[in-house]
């Protein structure tokens, strides 16, 4: 291959093409699919005093986990970054250092402008940019924190501009995300040939890779790809080359890239037959109680979608119970918002990719699937629920993770299960002998008069669209109605007045058929 046709470029040369003030977009899903070397290269060049300065970043999904794969944290430097728009942000403290992610620190200290968009919007907006449309128009998100009549997706006081608008079309209200140009896209692939054709065969997710490349080229921008290896031209079938070289300007090689934090490479994330050995086990405690109760709501045959957090423990419970044995895994059609179907939905830092998946689609198509009503059942975690039936997972107790795929999922499922502990911040409760003993109540109430932010108005969903919704905690189960919450199950050992009504800041109804939660949950 002649030097004139090869797109393989040293890292420093590729990063040097990024100019002050550019809008830079990057693929990545937590620790998966992150072009870590490229993002680190940008941060290192800035730290050395060679720029670039005043960049804006567009992350369709939160990029990096701020642990071994730092992702967006590499560019979280004052002066380097002016504005960030992301589908979600990493909030948990680093278990090794106890520190928050640098990007969240800058946001909390008002050092940069920051917006959180629903991931469905980030994905579908890219499609509109790619076809040079005016922007993305959707009903998803009306009445939530992304609505400019509420927060407009702004995460701090420094962030002033409304970049999402309310428009009326055909007599109905929509949210409108106007088009703006992307100057640089950062991608990651498994391999590339010297012509720039990219293969993602060793990646468990494709996410926004193709959409980012198409959108950036439509804006006249540059696409830089990070790969683990260079392969000969025409050495693989065309079906294994997922992004054509016509969309790629430069290729940088990093043979050390990990699949994810704690995962150098694991073929189980690419498919294969279920092997129940070495699966994580949900440890004893109240999270396990909640996951076991929620697992009773999962039906074979329904496409079930699971959100980040405690909800991801539900499939592991099903696996423990043997429901995936003897081909049962193929009767449980499980997915997440990131485009992977079948297999075992993972929890913690491994969330987004599944073990032993059956199929995979790109991120924008996954949100077509979700918004088309093809996930009738959703299990999602929650942080707050208020008297008006507004549910919050996007901003609470000093954390601002954004909504991820929550809004699209919750808006379009028919049956919703929200899971979480009854209170937070020091809750000590011990299940045993078919009962629950609450030794110390949590300092933070989660059933509040007014939620800190509206991620999804579940009360309106029930009243206006006929959704079914329930809330499952370690001590109680509620049904959400158009008039509020109704207590339907209570754990043995829990006092109705002290432990439930006394911890809820608004009136709740009690079913005349109130029953004890299954004592087996507490054994």
Give a three-class secondary structure readout of 14-68: HHCCCCCCCEEEECCEECECCCHHHHHHHHHHHHCCCCCCCEEEEECCCECCCCC
318's enclosing H/E stretch is helix 313-320
Residue 290 has pLDDT above 90, yes or no: yes
- What pTM, to 2 d.p., does this model score? 0.96
Percentage, residues of the chain above pLDDT 90: 91
- Percent helix / strand / coil, the chain, rounded to 5: 25, 30, 50
| Residues 87, 404 contacting (CB under 8 angstroms) | yes
Residue-level pLDDT at 422: 98
| Spatial contact of 177 and 135, defined as CB atoms under 8 Å apart | yes
Q: What is the pLDDT of residues 366-378, one digit of tens each?
A: 999 999 999 999 9
DSSP label of 496: I
Which one, of 229, 278, 221, lies nearest residue 247 by Cα?
221
Q: Report cis status (omega within 30 of 0) of the bond before 101.
A: no
Give which of 391, 392, 425, 410 is closest to 337, Cα–Cα. Answer: 410
Residue positions annotated with a catalytic role: 337
pLDDT digits (tens, 9 = 90+) for 156-189: 999 999 999 999 999 999 999 999 999 999 999 9
Per-residue pLDDT at 237 = 97
Within 10 angstroms of residue 216's Cβ, the number of other Cβ atoms is: 29
Q: Return the bridge partners of 436, or none.
A: 431
**Domain span(s) for CATH 3.40.1080.10 in the chain:** 11-253, 269-522
Q: Above 90 in pLDDT, residue 279?
A: no
Label residue 3 by pLDDT band (50, 70, 90).
low
pLDDT tens for residues 259-277? 999 899 999 999 999 988 8
Q: Would you say domain 11-253 falls under CATH 3.40.1080.10?
A: yes
Whether the per-residue pLDDT at 418 is higher than 80: the answer is yes
Token pair in block for residue 521? 């949950």
pLDDT at 423: 97
Q: How does residue 5 score in pLDDT terms, banded at 50, 70 and 90?
A: confident
Calculate mean pLDDT across residues 501-510.
96
What average pLDDT is seen over the chain? 95
Cα(394)–Cα(175) distance, rounded to whole angstroms?
18
- Render pLDDT for 214-272 as a digit per residue (tens, 0 to 9): 999 999 999 999 999 999 999 999 999 999 999 999 999 999 999 999 899 999 999 99
Would you state the pLDDT for residue 64? 95
Q: What is the pLDDT of residue 96?
A: 80
Tens digits of residue pLDDT in 15-32: 999 999 999 999 999 999
Q: Compute φ and ψ for 145, nearest 5 degrees.
A: -65, -20
Predicted local distance difference test score (pLDDT) of residue 100: 85
pLDDT of residue 443 exceeding 90, the answer is yes
**Does residue 217 contact residue 190 with C-beta atoms inside 8 Å?**
no
The whole-angstrom separation of Cα 122 and Cα 142 is 16
CA distances to 167, 386, 453, 457 from 464, in Å: 21, 18, 21, 11
Q: Which CATH superfamily is domain 269-522 in?
A: Glutaconate Coenzyme A-transferase (3.40.1080.10)
Q: Do residues 173 and 223 make contact, with C-beta atoms less than 8 angstroms apart?
A: no
Report the C-alpha dihedral over residues 225, 121, 119, 380, rounded to 10 degrees.
Answer: -160
Sign of CA dihedral 322, 351, 401, 440: positive
Compare 399 and 488 and report the one with higher pLDDT: 488
Task: Output the pLDDT for position 112.
Answer: 98
505 vs 399, which has greater pLDDT?
505
Q: Looking at residue 54, what is its pLDDT? A: 98
> With b meaning 16 or more CB within 10 Å and e meaning fewer, what string describes 238-251?
eeebbbebebbbbb
* Per-residue model confidence (pLDDT) at position 95: 77
Q: What is the pLDDT of residues 307-362, one digit of tens each?
A: 999 999 999 999 999 999 989 999 999 999 999 999 999 988 899 999 999 999 99
């Amino acid at each position: 291959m002649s030097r004139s046709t090869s797109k393989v470029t040293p890292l420093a040369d590729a990063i040097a093409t990024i100019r002050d003030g550019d809008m830079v977009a990057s693929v990545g899903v937590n620790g998966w699919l992150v072009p870590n070397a490229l993002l680190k290269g940008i941060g290192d060049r800035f730290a050395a005093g060679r720029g670039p300065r005043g960049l804006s970043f567009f992350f369709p999904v939160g990029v990096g986990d701020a642990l071994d794969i730092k992702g967006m944290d590499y560019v979280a430097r004052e002066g380097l970054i002016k504005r960030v728009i992301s589908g979600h942000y990493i909030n948990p403290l680093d278990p090794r250092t106890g520190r928050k992610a640098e990007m969240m620190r800058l946001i909390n200290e008002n050092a940069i402008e920051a917006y959180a968009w629903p991931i469905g919007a980030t994905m579908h907006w890219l499609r509109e940019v790619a076809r040079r449309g005016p922007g993305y128009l959707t009903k998803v998100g009306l009445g939530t924190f992304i609505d400019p009549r509420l927060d407009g997706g702004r995460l701090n006081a420094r962030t002033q501009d409304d970049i999402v608008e309310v428009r009326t079309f055909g007599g109905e209200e929509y949210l409108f995300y106007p088009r703006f140009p992307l100057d640089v896209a950062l991608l990651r692939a498994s391999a590339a040939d010297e012509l720039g054709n990219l293969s993602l065969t060793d990646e468990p997710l494709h996410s926004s890779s193709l959409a980012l490349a198409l959108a950036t080229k439509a804006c006249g921008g540059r696409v830089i790809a990070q790969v683990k290896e260079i392969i000969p031209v025409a050495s693989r079938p065309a079906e294994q080359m997922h992004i054509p070289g016509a969309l790629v300007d430069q290729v940088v090689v990093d043979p050390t890239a990990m699949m994810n934090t704690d995962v150098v490479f694991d073929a189980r994330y690419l498919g294969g037959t279920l092997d129940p050995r070495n699966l994580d086990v949900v440890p004893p405690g109240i999270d396990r109680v909640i996951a076991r109760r929620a697992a009773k709501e999962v039906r074979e045959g329904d496409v079930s979608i699971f959100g980040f957090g405690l909800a991801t423990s539900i499939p592991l419970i099903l696996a423990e119970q043997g429901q995936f044995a003897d081909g049962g895994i193929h009767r449980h059609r499980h997915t997440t918002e990131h485009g992977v179907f079948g297999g075992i939905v993972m929890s913690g830092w491994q969330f987004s990719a599944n073990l032993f998946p059956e199929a995979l689609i790109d991120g924008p198509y996954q949100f077509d699937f979700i918004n088309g009503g093809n996930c009738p059942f959703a299990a999602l975690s929650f942080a707050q629920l208020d008297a008006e039936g507004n549910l919050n997972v996007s901003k609470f107790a000093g954390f601002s993770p954004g909504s991820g795929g929550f809004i699209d999922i919750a808006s379009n499922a028919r049956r919703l299960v929200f899971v979480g502990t009854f209170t937070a911040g020091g809750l000590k409760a011990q299940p045993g002998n078919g009962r629950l003993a609450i030794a110390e109540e949590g300092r933070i109430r989660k059933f509040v008069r007014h939620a800190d932010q509206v991620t999804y108005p579940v009360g309106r969903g029930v009243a206006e669209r006929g959704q079914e919704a329930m809330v499952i905690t370690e001590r109680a189960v509620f049904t959400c109605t158009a008039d509020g919450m109704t207590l339907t199950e209570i754990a043995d050992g829990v006092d109705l007045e002290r432990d439930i009504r006394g911890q809820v800041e608004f009136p709740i109804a009690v079913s005349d058929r109130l029953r004890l939660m299954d004592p087996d949950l507490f054994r």
